[in-house]
Amino acid sequence: MPAIVLVGAQWGDEGKGKATDLLGDRIDYVVKFNGGNNAGHTVVIGDEKYALHLLPSGILTPGVTPIIGNGVVVDLGVLFTEIDALEARGVDTSLLRVSANAHVIPSYNTILDRVNERFLGSRKLGTTGRGIGPTYADKMSRVGIRVQDLYDESILRQKVVAALAVKNQVLAKIYNRRAIDADAIVQELLSYAERLRPMVADTSLEISKALDAGKTVLCEAGQATLLDVDHGTYPYVTSSNATSGGACTGAGLPPTRVDRVIAVLKAFTTRVGEGPFPTELTDEVGDELREIGREFGTTTGRPRRVGWLDVVVGRYAYRINGVTDFVLTKLDNLDTFEHIPVCVAYDVGGVRHDEMPVSQSDFHHATPIYEILPGWQSDISGCRTFEELPATCQDYVLFVEKAIGARISAIGVGPGRDEIIQRYPLTGE
Ligand code: GDP
Ligand code: IMO
Ligand code: MG
């Protein structure tokens, strides 16, 4: 029955974790379909705060079956560290399933990610240094290691030796680093095999059976639309498909089974790492917004770049993902501003662009055209219905809704589980 895909509309950290958690009691399966432990989702439940990286956020809801799909790249050390940390806090992770086709992140790729960034110097991408890019590159070059390879030692060894034959040349001759011993890598990977074995499954089949049985499946994206390797601000992107189409390939879910696409849109914009960002604020207003929103990375602790809301980006996310519902998050972070600029188009060399410019160079030179909306200058964190919001705040939401294309079905007014306004149901057909 219903499959829902949930994606980020901007450059990540929109509050996808909280939105997934919000749907928790109405879903049966939650599937992570792209990325790896480059993601960082903070979920606040009562006084408890959870930071999830590799595991899907839906794991926090008892009874939900969490799945790591084939499109994910798995750092096995991180997987078990996260499982142990959650179990220690009383979260049951026993239902977790991991696709036999998911690729693992061998430690040489984490090393390569970091040395490559250092090597690039001022041309660096600002990756999370988690080995994500090199592991997807290996997947596409057909020299990757899959979860199922851990259960055939001779195949595993062959693959590691083949991968290292090239990588060791690169490490030694380009980066001036020591070569990596294939045996050590094989032993490291095998050390996780037995603990992982009961979790390994044909997860696409499980999802298909669940949908046949009328269960609700939520596919939760890491990263976001503009970090998507095809549709984002390439090359300043991650290495996977973080848009809704990625759920089909990354979970083995046919497009004909997807009923809904929810996009999470933050009421302003943030970005971590390098790359173009037209509405970026580098002044004290930006510092204020960063402090109010506590915009420091969950994964790397880096201060996030911040700026005003860009509805050109929102419209783009609507179109690329086929969004049916938006969740607008962190609206409460705008409470104190007297005026709230919203970018409605770009000026590129004197020409107005209402859509994302097709040329990346144009996007680098885009200057925002703002519409200035009045602020509400009051605390909205206690509001639980749309009608309780101040009139100017309602107008802000309606303005954004009209500009982006799909309805705003839920509004976040604080980090807590209950700090939400539900306007329209997010599940059901
Ligand atoms: P994700 O990567 O998309 O899951 O987002 P992150 O967890 O990296 O960043 C979102 C941050 O905003 C987290 O610290 C959340 O607790 C917080 N958050 C989510 N929704 C809201 C909201 O509506 N209001 C406020 N004030 N904080 C929120
Ligand atoms: P969530 O799921 C924000 C960014 C990195 C870098 C680029 C490539 O929490 O929204 P990578 O390590 O993936 O090769 O880095 O992508 N990036 C994120 N930015 N939120 C994330 O995840 C991100 N995951 C990757 O900062 O610019
Ligand atoms: Mg995040």
Residues 68-116 have pLDDT tens digits of: 999 999 999 999 999 999 999 999 999 999 999 999 999 999 999 999 9
Place of tokens 């990610």: 113
Q: Which residues line ligand 1 (CB under 6 A)?
A: 8, 12-18, 39-42, 44, 298, 329-330, 332-333, 412-415
pLDDT, residue 24, reads 82
Query: Where would I find the H helices in 197-283?
Result: 203-212, 244-251
Q: Distance (Å, rounded) from C-alpha 268 to C-alpha 237?
A: 19
Hey, which of 7, 42, 304 would you mutate to test ligand 1's pocket, going by the most ligand atoms within 8 Å of its Cβ? 42
Count of C-beta atoms within a 10 Å radius of residue 205: 10
Cα 208 to averaged position of ligand 1 atoms, centre (Å) = 31
Coarse DSSP helix, strand, coil percentages of the chain, rounded to the nearest 5 percent: 40, 20, 40
Compute CA 347 distance to the chain's CA centroid, rounded to the nearest angstrom.
29
Q: Distance (Å, rounded) from C-alpha 127 to C-alpha 274?
A: 8
Give yes or no for residue 28 having a pLDDT over 80. Answer: yes
Q: Is the CB of 223 under 6 A from ligand 2?
A: yes
Q: Distance (Å, rounded) from C-alpha 399 to C-alpha 363?
A: 24
Give yes or no for residue 211 having a pLDDT over 80. Answer: yes
Cα 58 to averaged position of ligand 1 atoms, centre (Å) = 15
Ligand nearest the Cα atom of residue 18? 1
Q: pTM (2 decimals)? A: 0.97
Strand partners, 325: 262, 407
Q: Is 41 a catalytic residue?
A: yes
Q: Which listed residue (21, 41, 113, 325) is catalytic? A: 41
* Residue 302 pLDDT level (bands cut at 50, 70, 90): confident
Q: What is the CA radius of gyration of the chain?
A: 22
Compute CA 354 distance to the chain's CA centroid, rounded to the nearest angstrom.
26
Ligand 1 atom with minimal separation from the 293 CA: 26
pLDDT, residue 1, reads 58
Average pLDDT value for the chain: 96
**pLDDT above 70 coverage of the chain, percent:** 100
Q: Distance (Å, rounded) from C-alpha 353 to C-alpha 368?
A: 10
pLDDT digits (tens, 9 = 90+) for 401-416: 999 999 999 999 999 9
Q: Is 354 a catalytic residue?
A: no
**How does strand 3-8 pair with strand 217-220?**
parallel
Please compute the mean of the pLDDT values over residues 329-345 and round it to a whole number: 98
Residue 360 carries which side chain, given as an amino acid letter? Q
Strand (E) or helix (H) holding 14 = none
Hey, which of 78, 139, 238 would you mutate to test ligand 2's pocket, going by the most ligand atoms within 8 Å of its Cβ? 238
Which residues are CB-neighbours of 329 under 8 A, at least 6 positions away? Answer: 14, 15, 18, 19, 264, 265, 266, 267, 411, 412
Lowest mean pLDDT among 117-121, 148-152, 339-343: 117-121
DSSP-derived 3-state class of residue 97: strand
Q: Is the CB of 134 under 6 A from ligand 2?
A: no
pLDDT digits (tens, 9 = 90+) for 215-270: 999 999 999 999 999 999 999 999 999 999 999 999 999 999 999 999 999 999 99
For 303, which DSSP code?
B
Nearest Cα residue to atom 18 of ligand 1: 415
Nearest CA to 291 among 282, 301, 303? 303
pLDDT digits (tens, 9 = 90+) for 346-366: 999 999 999 999 999 999 999
- Total residue length of the chain: 429
Nearest Cα residue to atom 19 of ligand 1: 15
Give yes or no for residue 429 having a pLDDT over 60. Answer: no
Cα 242 to averaged position of ligand 3 atoms, centre (Å) = 13
**How does strand 367-374 pair with strand 351-353?**
unpaired
CA angle 400, 401, 404 (to 5 degrees): 80
Largest distance between two CA atoms of the chain: 67
Cα 330 to averaged position of ligand 1 atoms, centre (Å) = 7
Cα 298 to averaged position of ligand 2 atoms, centre (Å) = 10
Residues near ion ligand 3 (CB < 5 Å) are 13, 40, 298
Cα 422 to averaged position of ligand 1 atoms, centre (Å) = 17
**pLDDT above 90 coverage of the chain, percent:** 94
DSSP-derived 3-state class of residue 294: coil
Q: Is the CB of 91 under 6 A from ligand 2?
A: no
CA angle 379, 412, 3 (to 5 degrees): 170
Give yes or no for residue 22 having a pLDDT over 90. Answer: no
Q: Distance (Å, rounded) from C-alpha 368 to C-alpha 360?
A: 15
Nearest Cα residue to atom 14 of ligand 1: 42
Nearest CA to 6 among 255, 258, 234? 258
